[in-house]
């Protein structure tokens, strides 16, 4: 049992770490908030002074703001759909006692070790380029006109690349959940005459509910801020077809050197992420209570 002295000592000893962490978080946040209300352009020293809500109105009034919001949600939703469904399928597959299971697992999780810009470059030039990409050659082999993926289906292409990167994460989590399912339960269901589909719906899927929730929550946090894949492949275009909120903030703050508006965009992005997280927790987070 901790005495009053040991509790005080613990607090004193932990204080430096807590203070550093707080400062680490608070300073950038306060600076972002401060800049978001200032006229501050890196390249135009004449832009100075208090901006009021000007920066926020400028960002929200951006012609691509609504589309980037929709694109963000489609991106998150699309990737979640592919990774959750695909992850469950792959987890079931590699859980089977087959020859070369170890190697298969490594192959399945390997995309997770590829850095996002590298993955985007591989997909852009190696697979999806209409001229020298593998898919282009495949299309040509069947006498078809190669698809110009990043121009014809920009958002879909980005979703495919991001899903490819996140699928191993989902698969690993689902596989862990699957392996924690007791063998007796499965055998009992099998003896009671439940077929594979029934076993999946009534035994496996409910057992995986918590891991599905974890995957959705963790991935959503990361997927809301997808940037490298868009920067490398489509640059947010054509037009604004693949611009998400993160890319819009980058375009405003970095490409246009408008620190004030970029900061306002950053604050808006944080608010949107929190709103999404709030609804997500209410919708799926209840699975975690059990």
Which residues are at the interface with other proteins (CB under 8 A)?
A: 41-47, 58, 61, 63, 129-131, 145-146, 148, 150-152, 235-241, 251, 254-258
Report the nearest approach of other proteins to the CB of residue 164 (Å): 20
What does the alpha-carbon distance between residue 69 and residue 57 come to, in Å, rounded to a whole number? 15
Nearer to other proteins, 44 or 185 (CB): 44
Report the nearest approach of other proteins to the CB of residue 82 (Å): 24
Is 131 in a helix, a strand, or coil? coil
Cα torsion through 10, 16, 18, 24, rounded to 10: -170
What is the three-state SS of 175-206?
A: HHHHHCCCHHHHHHHHHCCCCHHHHHHHHHHH
Report the nearest approach of other proteins to the CB of residue 256 (Å): 3
Report the nearest approach of other proteins to the CB of residue 26 (Å): 23
Nearer to other proteins, 124 or 162 (CB): 124
Nearer to other proteins, 166 or 250 (CB): 250
Nearer to other proteins, 200 or 227 (CB): 227
Contact 223, 162 (CB under 8 A): yes
Give the count of beta carbons closer than 10 Å to the beta carbon of residue 36: 24
Write the Ramachandran bin of 87: left for phi over 0, alpha for psi from -120 to 50, otherwise beta.
Answer: alpha
**Residue 258 DSSP label:** B
Give the count of beta carbons closer than 10 Å to the beta carbon of residue 207: 16
* CA dihedral (163, 164, 167, 168) positive or negative: negative
Cα torsion through 145, 148, 153, 159, rounded to 10: 120
Nearer to other proteins, 75 or 94 (CB): 75
Least Cα distance to 153 among 246, 242, 273 occurs for 242
Nearer to other proteins, 148 or 190 (CB): 148
Nearer to other proteins, 168 or 236 (CB): 236
Least Cα distance to 276 among 216, 202, 233 occurs for 216
Report the nearest approach of other proteins to the CB of residue 155 (Å): 11
Report the nearest approach of other proteins to the CB of residue 159 (Å): 17
Nearer to other proteins, 83 or 233 (CB): 233
Report the nearest approach of other proteins to the CB of residue 226 (Å): 18
Report the nearest approach of other proteins to the CB of residue 273 (Å): 25
Give the count of beta carbons closer than 10 Å to the beta carbon of residue 137: 11
């Amino acid at each position: 049992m901790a005495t009053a002295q040991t509790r005080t000592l613990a607090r004193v000893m932990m204080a430096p770490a807590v203070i550093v962490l707080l400062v680490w978080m608070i300073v950038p946040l306060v600076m972002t908030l401060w800049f978001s209300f200032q006229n501050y352009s890196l390249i135009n020293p004449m832009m100075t002074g208090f901006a009021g809500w000007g920066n926020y109105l400028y960002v929200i009034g951006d012609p691509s703001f609504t589309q980037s919001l929709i694109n963000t949600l489609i991106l998150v939703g699309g990737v979640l759909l592919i990774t959750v469904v695909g992850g469950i399928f792959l987890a079931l597959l590699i859980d089977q006692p087959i020859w070369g299971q170890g190697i298969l697992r490594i192959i399945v999780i390997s995309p997770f070790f590829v850095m996002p810009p590298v993955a985007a470059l591989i997909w852009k030039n190696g697979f999806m380029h209409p001229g020298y990409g593998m898919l282009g050659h495949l299309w040509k082999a069947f006498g078809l006109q190669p698809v110009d993926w990043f121009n014809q289906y920009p958002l879909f292409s980005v979703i495919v690349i991001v899903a490819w990167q996140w699928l191993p994460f989902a698969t690993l989590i689902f596989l862990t959940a699957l392996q924690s399912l007791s063998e007796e339960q499965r055998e009992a269901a099998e003896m009671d005459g439940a077929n594979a589909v029934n076993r999946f719906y009534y035994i496996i899927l409910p057992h995986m509910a918590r891991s599905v929730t974890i995957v959705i929550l963790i991935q959503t946090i990361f997927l809301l801020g997808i940037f490298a894949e868009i920067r490398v492949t489509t640059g947010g275009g054509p037009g604004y077809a693949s611009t998400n909120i993160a890319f819009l903030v980058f375009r405003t703050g970095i490409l246009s050197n408008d620190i004030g508006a970029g900061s306002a965009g950053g604050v808006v992005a944080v608010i949107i992420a929190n709103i999404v997280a709030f609804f997500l927790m209410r919708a799926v987070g209840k699975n975690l209570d059990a």
